[in-house]
Amino acid sequence: MKYDVIIIGAGLSGLTAGIQLVKSGKKVCLLEKHKIPGGYATNFTRKGFNEKFYTFDSSIHTISGFNKNCSVYKTLDNLGILKNIEILENKQYTTIIKNSKETIDIPNNFEEFKIMLIKNFPNFSSNINSLFEFIKNLYEDMKDLILKSDAPKYQTELESISLYDFLKKYVDDENFIEIFSYLCSYLGLPPKDLNAFYYMVAISSFLLGGSYYIKGGSGHITKIMKNELEKHNANIHLSSEVIEIHSQNDKIISVTTKNKEVFEAYEFIFACDPNHIFSLIKNNTIINDYVNKLKFLEKSISASQLYIALDCSTKEVDINTSHLFINNLSHQDSYANIKAGNFENSNFELTAYDQMDCDLNKNGSFLCVSSADFITNWPERNTEMYKQKKEQISQLFLEKVLKFFPKIKQHIQVLEFATPRTMQRYTNNTNGSILGWAQNIQQGGFNRPSFKTPFSNAITIGAWSYPGGGFEGVISSSILGVNRILSKKENSNNIKNEILPLNVIMDGMVAKFNPANAVDKHIIYKFIFDGYNPIYLEIKDNTAKLLSAEPSHVDTTITTTHETWYKIAFNELSGQDALMDGLVSCSGNLRNFASMPKIFDKEIPDNFSSNETNNSSNEPNTSNSNDNNVSENNTKEIENTFTKELMPIKAIMNGMLAGFDSSKAEGLDIRYKFSFDNQKPVYLEIKNNTAKLLSREPSKIDTTIITTHETWHRIAFEGLDGEDALMDGLIKCEGNLKNFALMPTLFNTSEEEDNSTSPNLKLNPVIWVSLALVPWIFYWITHNIFSPSIVSAFSILYTTFFINFIKPKNFRSITKLESINLAAFSIYNLASFLNPVLFKNIISPFFLDIVLILTLFISAGTNSSVMSEYSKISFHPSVTKTKLFKIINRNLTLLWALVFAIRFILMLVIPSPLNNLSYLVIMLGIIISYFYPKSKLGH
């Protein structure tokens, strides 16, 4: 028997895909290696010491985004699943226990969580409100995502930035970020490594889509799904691990199971780990490039879990909520410790299932204690070392829980422990991964491996595909993937004969133009199809029309095939899928492409007919047409705030190198080519954790970046986002686009924004520091001549009025050094009145010198240089925001601390007047301070 579709893997994604297919009239076969379906969504039972049986949910702690407005709920309801299950809403707080004593209760409610954060961080109330407004907008955009064809509005904004960096834009407070990021424990990476898109979608779904659990455990929903499949005559083969996949050219032909059964189908869905599944395909070179790419992708964490059955409720052992996070370390430190196998010093999560479903166990309750883990921490299964370590870590987990809830000990009926080796055993997931590919900055959103495989009749779905792991993620993935197959199967037989002419397709688009969604838009599209003359379409003044001649400029160029555009135009293929699969390439302003589903969404009138003679767009063109230039018009779309003189390209690139973070370049080997205006190309190589400019063109270029001198300056030093520049057509990128996306991580040129500086005053900072130190110089010269009152009065008046009078307007504030001046001389004067004896013997000869020396040493040691405040008004902002500039100021501050310390010692040990030679040390310091920054900064 030959099936329409064979699905390998009967986890949640495979089961959901199967139901959708059988209800569309397809003959479906599911092959699963385990004896029960469900993957990680399963239940299991164990007998307790009291001879009673206890039910455990293997992995699902909670389900978010399951209210009736969400697309996952709507889809499962339409498939007939929800009528047979009961969904339990969890309204309890999530509790975080910090440092073994501090308790934080986090509401599972949008408004209450916001109020709680504002109460704890009142100084950031406005920014917290803005953050939560963003969450609400994101949720509205995402909640029906799998039911519509356009791309997520915020995906490109969030996918290539870490959660940590994204949150710092709103609230620059480490404690806030730790609390807000509490769901990181479920998502596999700490805030500095997790891409912001994945987390923000998860928490928006959790807060606005609700927190739920399925009555009877996750195994109950997989049981219902299995019954639904069998009711529609799907064949489900359990304990049928696939051991070989047979292919011919770009098609899968059949698969063989360990039972020696062979199954054939027209289409295949891999609802499992592609690393494993592609290892089963032999003698077909078509997979080589695909498999090689997989080798360089990061896999997600695994987990270790201790299952504890109790003969009482969890409330009887003082656990008063369903979810607890025991966080004695930051997310980042805990992750590092776990990676190193340090389980003693790591965070863990505890779930009390009876507080979500009180009927799951009639004989008592069960707890799940879970922690992130790595398979590298564990010896091979079935070895004595593995058994010993499993027993050791199991006891460690139990002891960590008993420290907080000691009453548990006398009620234990079952202890069951699972490791990453266990996860791998039952799922074949590489390294026992629980979330597929890691949701890091390089693998988030559009950068995540998607459905497409090297085979024309096979796709991947689930945690290893788009959008990612988790209950919502794998179900969304299965629906998006199956929609591809259904569209393809319904149209593949006739499309070659029935495909409409291009002018009819384009006329149809114009007929679908919706002016309500194009207010104030002025866009010119250029379409390049295989072997045809280019087609130009203009949107202006709330109308859309095809142009008969080439316009003077183009905003967005779309290159694809006649057949692909037919499918996109008539909703057989989403533009997002086509872009992700490389069926469409887009240059210029990518946002214009993303907005097309909304602009052209009107129903076509029944009496619509195409003007066959509209233009010559369906006449083949023998000449090649390319649009490789960065659009000049797009430059006008971003307000040009940079009107200052540009730094030379060489200086900009040196500034980039100064900000290179070698810790982010582990294992990278990349060569960039930069083409700026009409200037000579610049080549940059990253290799062996170093970055350097090359003097000649290398033999291989991985990524070419084409832009203008001005645009690159703004990206490097003026805060223009590189991704925005790419989407707005200010940059063209050829080769590996991911290398471009890596650059903000590799070259972190900017420190905190400082808008108080003036780039127009070019005085050397040594002069400014010398002016600030005039009170000390006056003291050294006159303290034996004038009274302390006169010395102090001069110093205070000079610092308060005179130096501020000569500063530029936007720098007329008291600096750190000037604040020390005021405080030190005020104490100096006060001491002369309060205790003349102490003043004469100790304070007068020593106090002010020691204060100055300590101030400079402390300033240099804490990287909060007093020099930087003066340096910033003497250099261009593009220089002052580099790490190199920060290092220079730290070294200068340390230099002057040493200069004044040496002078102080010489004044003490050398008698007067010879000790005045100590001022030569100061002169030497001035000379070094003048030339040192120039030698380091170059241009």
- Residue 491 pLDDT > 50: no
**Closest C-alpha among 489, 441, 486, 446 to residue 467:** 446
**In the predicted model, what is the mean pLDDT of residues 821-835?**
78
Residue 349 bridge partners (DSSP): 325, 370
pLDDT (average), residues 65-91 = 87
Q: Which amino acid type is present at position 88? A: L
Judge whether 437 and 443 are in contact, CB under 8 Å.
yes
Average pLDDT over residues 405-413: 96
* Contact predicate 357/213, CB 8 Å: yes
What would the two tokens of residue 611 be?
């003007």
Residue 308 or 653, more confident: 308
CATH 3.30.1050.10 fits 633-746, yes or no: yes
Q: What angle do CA 425, 427, 431 make, to 5 degrees?
A: 70
Would you say how long the chain is, in residues? 939
Model confidence at 182, pLDDT cuts 50, 70, 90, reads: very high
Chain segment 612-658, per-residue pLDDT in tens: 434 434 444 433 433 334 333 333 333 333 334 567 787 788 778 77
Q: Following DSSP, what letter does each residue of 178-189 receive, concatenated?
A: HHHTTTHHHHSS
CB 749 within 8 A of CB 658: yes
Q: What is the mean pLDDT of residues 759-763?
A: 44
pLDDT at 879: 62
Return d(Cα 200, Cα 211) in angstroms, integer. Answer: 15
Q: Residue 427 above 70 pLDDT?
A: yes
What pLDDT is recorded for position 719? 65
d(CA 271, CA 562): 31
**Residues forming a β-bridge with 245:** 255, 281
pLDDT average, residue stretch 322-351: 94
The answer to whether 151 and 594 are in contact (CB under 8 A) is: yes
| Range with the poorest average pLDDT among 102-116, 448-462, 574-588, 639-653 | 639-653
Burial class (CB in 10 A: 0-12, 13-18, 19+), 25: exposed
Find the mean pLDDT for residues 519-539.
89
3-state helix, strand, coil split of the chain in percent (to 5) is: 45, 20, 35
Most confident of 455-464, 683-692, 918-927: 455-464
Angle of the 110-120 helix axis to the 196-208 helix axis, nearest 10: 110
Please tell me which of 377-386, 653-662, 743-752 the model is most confident about, judged by mean pLDDT.
377-386
Q: Which amino acid is at 645?
A: E
DSSP string, 564-607: HHHHHHTTSS-HHHHHHTTS-EEEEBHHHHHTHHHHT-SPPPTT
- Count Cα atoms within 13 angstroms, Cβ side, for 272: 30
Q: Give the Cα separation of 828 and 849 in Å (integer).
A: 11
CA dihedral sign, ordered 402, 407, 410, 415: negative
357 burial via Cβ count (<10 Å: 0-12, 13-18, 19+): buried
Concatenating the DSSP letter of every residue in 91-145 gives -SPEEEEETTTEEEEE-SSHHHHHHHHHHH-GGGHHHHHHHHHHHHHHHHHHTTG
Please give the residue that has the higher pLDDT: either 150 or 233. Answer: 233
* Distance from C-alpha of 537 to C-alpha of 336, rounded to nearest angstrom: 53
- DSSP assignment letter at 446: G
Residue 632 has a pLDDT of 38
Q: What is the CA radius of gyration of the chain?
A: 33
Q: Does domain 495-627 have CATH number 3.30.1050.10?
A: yes
Question: What is the rounded distance in angstroms from the CA atom of residue 191 to the CA atom of residue 711?
Answer: 30
Whole-model pTM over 0.85: no
pLDDT at residue 838 tops 70:
no
**Mean pLDDT for the stretch of residues 924-939:** 73
Bridge partners, 98 (sequence order): 102, 327
Is residue 80 scored above 50 in pLDDT?
Answer: yes
Chain position carrying tokens 């590298």: 376
Q: Write the DSSP symbol of residue 631.
A: P
CA distance 711 to 636: 12
* pLDDT average, residue stretch 331-350: 94
- b/e map 821-848, b = 16+ CB within 10 Å: bbebbebbbebbeeeeeebeeebbeebb
Q: List phi, psi (to 5°) of 403.
A: -60, -35
2-43+217-297+449-483 shares its CATH topology with 633-746: no
State how far the Cα of 163 lies from the Cα of 194, in Å rounded to an integer: 6
Task: Provide mean pLDDT across the span 679-683.
Answer: 89
158/162 Cα distance (integer angstroms): 8
Per-residue pLDDT reduced to its tens digit, 101-125: 789 999 989 999 999 999 999 999 9
Measure the CA–CA gap between 392 and 385, rounded to whole angstroms.
Answer: 10
Given a cut of 80, whether residue 230 has pLDDT beyond it is yes
What mean pLDDT, rounded, does the chain reach?
A: 83
Residue 931 CB coordination number (10 Å): 10
Residues 892 and 865 sit within 8 Å (Cβ to Cβ):
yes
Residue 643: per-residue pLDDT:
36
Enumerate residues 6+ apart whose C-beta is below 8 A from 869: 815, 816, 817
The residue type found at 646 is: L
Spatial separation of the C-alpha atoms in residues 458 and 278, rounded to whole Å: 11
Percent of the chain with pLDDT over 90: 44
E strands, 598-726, where?
669-676, 682-687, 690-694, 703-707
**Residue 156 pLDDT level (bands cut at 50, 70, 90):** low
Mean pLDDT value across residues 727-744: 78
Pair of tokens at residue 410: 């006398």
Name the token pair of 892. Answer: 């200068």
For 106-214, CATH number out of 1.10.3470, 1.20.58, 1.10.405, 2.60.40 equals 1.10.405
Which has more pLDDT, 26 or 818?
A: 26
- 2-43+217-297+449-483, CATH topology level: FAD/NAD(P)-binding domain (3.50.50)
Chain centroid to Cα 429, Å, comes to 23
Where are the chain's structural domains?
2-43+217-297+449-483, 106-214, 302-430, 495-627, 633-746, 765-937
Beta bridge partners of 705: 674, 733
**Which residue type, as a one-letter code, is found at position 544?**
A
Residue 31 · residue 7 · CB < 8 Å? yes
How far is residue 856's CA from residue 764's CA, in Å, rounded to a whole number? Answer: 19
Distance CA 774, CA 351 (A): 65
**How many CA atoms lie within 13 Å of 7's alpha carbon, on the beta-carbon side?**
34
Burial of residue 935 (CB within 10 Å: 0-12, 13-18, 19+) is exposed
pLDDT tens per residue, range 346-362: 999 999 999 999 999 98
